[in-house]
């Protein structure tokens, strides 16, 4: 039998490129990467696999239903992993338009095209087919000091980004219930690792620290996120699409709850060791507390026991091991970093006028 073909949308982004690299390196499937190449998409992240006979790139906007339909019917995928999205909360505060378009309308288009395609499958092809929507824990809103997000936690999104992802999750659920689309949803906590666009906290801190610029911490730095290494997330996604049950939701998280201040201090401490400054100076001296983000969620924390129990996935990296790998990667991949920072000056985003 031919290798199966997996369509990955958003495969030129941070998490999508890790998924594509892992799938191609496994040697088990062909991958068609559908990506519009917005500011966040970068084909340099795929340099290690771009020459593989099992890999094909298609520059398509998922809001263009006709082009999407043509490519899905041409590729004849066994499964679809949908990651393409506008993904940054601060940008969604500055301008929600693209979030509504890509995350809601784009997901709707992909669902409709997939439904047309799926309805023409039969036998083993129909049985194998899966549609996996990659989503975020931010749909659940904000936690107080205690408790964890479970798959049953009600949706209470607070930012335009999380509201658009919540909407797309609901569409996927409805397509499963109404049309029998064999769809799965995963909701994951904050990712970090190589190839992340430097508008997000961790690469932004590394970049600002090395550039000698102020390191901005929103509010008092007490907000908590549950950090997961991107390689662990991509493995979870492969596990879900292979062995997950259609109609199910899986929460994915790293059991690494940390305040933003703890995250920044850890990065500064590691940089002090790996790239020491002059005598007695620390990168921590560059920390600057700045105006808080509007609607800033206080705490995210994931109960990942369902995926651990039912699909036998668990993260391999601790925050200490993952952040060390990440910092070392940014230090030795300055060409990639420069290609990205040429597009983004590092200016503060997401403050209301």
Q: Which positions are annotated as active-site residues?
A: 137-138, 161
Q: Is the dihedral of CA 97, 100, 102, 108 positive or negative?
A: negative
Dmax (CA) of the chain? 69
DSSP-assigned letter for residue 299: B
Residue 322 found at the interface with ligand NAD (CB under 6 A)? no
What residues numbered 87-146 form the site for ligand NAD, per CB under 6 A? 87, 102, 106, 134-136
Nearer to ligand TYD by C-beta: 133 or 225? 225
Residue 260 found at the interface with ligand TYD (CB under 6 A)? yes
User: Which partner, ligand TYD, ligand NAD, none, binds residue 41 by CB below 5 to 8 Å per kind?
Assistant: ligand NAD
Distance CA 330, CA 32 (A): 27
Residue 15 found at the interface with ligand TYD (CB under 6 A)? no
Question: Measured from the CB of residue 180, what is the shortest distance to ligand TYD in angstroms?
Answer: 33
Residue 30 found at the interface with ligand NAD (CB under 6 A)? no
Question: Measured from the CB of residue 260, what is the shortest distance to ligand NAD in angstroms?
Answer: 14
List beta partners, residue 152.
none
Question: Which of 209, 221, 200 minimizes the C-alpha distance to 276?
Answer: 209
Residue from 165, 225, 233, 299 binding ligand TYD (CB under 6 A):
225
Nearer to ligand TYD by C-beta: 49 or 202? 202
x/- track of binding to ligand NAD for residues 49-68 (CB under 6 A): ------------xxx-----
Q: CA distances (Å), 113 to each of 62, 68, 116, 172, 313, in order?
A: 10, 7, 5, 13, 31
Question: Which of 248, 246, 7, 242 minimizes the C-alpha distance to 117?
Answer: 7
CB neighbour burial string for 280-318, b if at least 16 within 10 angstroms, e if fewer = eeebbebbeeeeebeeebebbbbbbebbbeebebebebe
Residue 40 found at the interface with ligand TYD (CB under 6 A)? no
Residue 164 found at the interface with ligand NAD (CB under 6 A)? no
User: Which partner, ligand TYD, ligand NAD, none, binds residue 30 by CB below 5 to 8 Å per kind?
Assistant: none
Residue 228 found at the interface with ligand TYD (CB under 6 A)? no
Contact 72, 114 (CB under 8 A): yes
Question: Measured from the CB of residue 173, what is the shortest distance to ligand NAD in angstroms?
Answer: 16
Residue from 216, 244, 315, 322 binding ligand TYD (CB under 6 A):
216
Question: Interface residues with ligand TYD (CB under 6 A)?
Answer: 89, 190, 200-201, 204, 216-218, 223, 225, 260, 293
């Amino acid at each position: 039998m031919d290798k199966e073909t997996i369509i990955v949308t958003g495969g030129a982004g941070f998490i999508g490129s890790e998924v594509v690299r892992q799938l191609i390196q496994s040697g088990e499937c062909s991958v068609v990467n559908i990506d519009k190449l917005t500011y966040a998409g970068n084909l340099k992240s795929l340099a290690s696999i771009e020459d593989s006979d099992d890999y094909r790139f298609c520059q398509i906007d998922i809001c263009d239903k006709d082009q999407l339909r043509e490519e899905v019917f041409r590729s004849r995928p066994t499964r679809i992993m949908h990651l393409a999205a506008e993904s940054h909360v601060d940008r969604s505060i500055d301008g929600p338009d693209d979030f509504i378009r890509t995350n809601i309308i784009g997901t709707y288009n992909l669902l409709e095209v997939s439904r047309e395609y799926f309805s023409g499958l039969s036998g083993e092809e129909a049985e194998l087919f899966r549609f996996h929507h990659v989503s975020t824990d931010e749909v659940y809103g904000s936690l107080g000091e205690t408790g964890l997000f479970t798959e049953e936690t009600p949706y209470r999104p607070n930012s335009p980004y999380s509201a658009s992802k919540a909407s797309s999750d609901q569409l996927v659920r409805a397509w499963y219930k109404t049309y029998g689309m064999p769809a799965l949803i995963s909701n994951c906590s904050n990712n970090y690792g190589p190839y992340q666009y430097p508008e997000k906290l961790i690469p932004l801190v590394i970049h600002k620290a090395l550039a000698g610029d102020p390191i901005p911490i929103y509010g008092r730095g007490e907000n908590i996120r549950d950090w997961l290494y991107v390689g662990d997330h991509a493995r979870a996604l492969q596990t879900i699409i292979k062995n997950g049950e259609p109609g199910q939701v899986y929460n994915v998280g790293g059991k690494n709850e940390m305040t933003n201040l703890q995250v920044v201090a850890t990065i500064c401490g590691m940089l002090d060791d790996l790239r020491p400054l002059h005598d007695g100076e620390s990168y921590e001296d560059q920390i600057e507390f700045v105006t808080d983000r509007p609607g800033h969620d206080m705490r995210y924390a994931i109960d990942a026991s369902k995926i651990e129990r039912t699909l036998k996935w668990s993260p391999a990296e601790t925050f200490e091991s993952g952040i060390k790998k990440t910092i070392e990667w940014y230090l030795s991949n300055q060409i990639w970093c420069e290609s990205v920072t040429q597009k983004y000056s590092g200016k503060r985003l997401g403050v209301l006028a």
